[in-house]
Amino acid sequence: MDNRPVLFLDSGVGGLPYCYHFHRDNPGEALVYLADREYFPYGSRERPALIRRLTGLLNHLRREYKAKLGVLACNTASVSALQSLRDSFPDLPLVGTVPAVKPAVETSKKRHIGVLGTARTIHDPYIAELAARYGPDCALTAIAAPDLVDFVEHRYAAAGAEERLLAVLPYIEEFRRAGADAIVLGCTHFLFLLDTFRTAAGDMSIHDSVEGVSRRVEALLDQGNLRADPEAGGRTAILLVTGSGPLEPSWQERALAFGPSAMAGMLI
Ligand code: DGL
């Protein structure tokens, strides 16, 4: 039994749906969520800079919070830095977030998938490799959507359904024009817009990695005998935000919804 927290990390609020999902199925696990807003957006950063940043954050979080496992709840961080972080932290199990290319390829009837992510993610050779591995007969259209990342981070929580739909539609239309019929949400921020994507997509299918990431974390907890003691009680959930201030009140409410003792703080 191990009551140390599981750490989730993203450039901002994007990893929260991953954290919620894991928490829903594993309510006895303590959590630390870090929104690295000071360095947002990760999508426009160079790989070496991201590796340096994430190495520094993980060093700090390990020291302060003694995490037993880390989740890079961010596709950009995962494709850019996961391997390097695993090399630097060999005794910390790390789970990455990778665009759900495989289920999209398996679903696509037109043999054409779309991936929506940050520029850093979609231009990483790993994405083309994934597509070639799972669907060599499948075309790939990859679109960078920094505006949509920014929309979720700063405007989503206060936006209405119409505004959300308008934010998503241009991307759906671009994928449709290209001929794709299975769309991968390749940035964790877009999970907040899952229902909107489904509404806008009509008969195109939408794919994400939330379930897969949760199952992978659970498997590693089981393999390493790292599960929290269900009898221990007193689960904590801590929200950390880098930069000059806490999350906006609208986000704060959402973030706090999953933990009785969550707090916002400044770090580094
Ligand atoms: N949420 C992150 C991802 O999954 C990136 C957003 C950003 O550009 O910071 O890629």
Dist CA 21 CA 6 (whole Å): 13
Pocket probe for ligand 1: among 40, 71, 123, 149, the residue whose CB has the most ligand atoms within 8 Å is 149
Give the dihedral of Cα atoms 98, 238, 34, 247; nearest 10 deg.
120
Dist CA 59 CA 135 (whole Å): 38
Atom of ligand 1 nearest to the CA of 186: 4
User: How sure is the predictor about 230, in pLDDT bands with cuts at 50, 70 and 90?
Assistant: confident
Q: Residue 234 pLDDT more than 60?
A: no
User: In b/e form, how buried is each residue of 123-145, taking b as 16+ CB within 10 angstroms?
Assistant: ebebbeebbeeebeebebbbbbb
* Host H or E run for residue 55: helix 47-65
61 HSE (CA, 13 A, CB side):
32
| Mean pLDDT for all residues in the chain | 91
175 lines ligand 1 (CB under 6 A): no
How far is Cα of residue 266 from the mean position of the Cα atoms in its chain? Answer: 21
β-pair partners for 6: 31, 69
Q: Is 74 a catalytic residue?
A: yes
Tens-digit pLDDT profile for residues 79-138: 999 999 999 999 999 999 999 999 999 999 999 999 999 999 999 999 999 999 999 999
Q: Residue 262 pLDDT more than 50?
A: no
Closest CA relative to residue 48, chosen from 81, 75, 73: 81
Of the residues 185, 187, 200, 201, which is catalytic? 187
Tens-digit pLDDT profile for residues 171-223: 999 999 999 999 999 999 999 999 999 999 999 999 999 999 999 999 999 99
144 lines ligand 1 (CB under 6 A): no
189 lines ligand 1 (CB under 6 A): yes
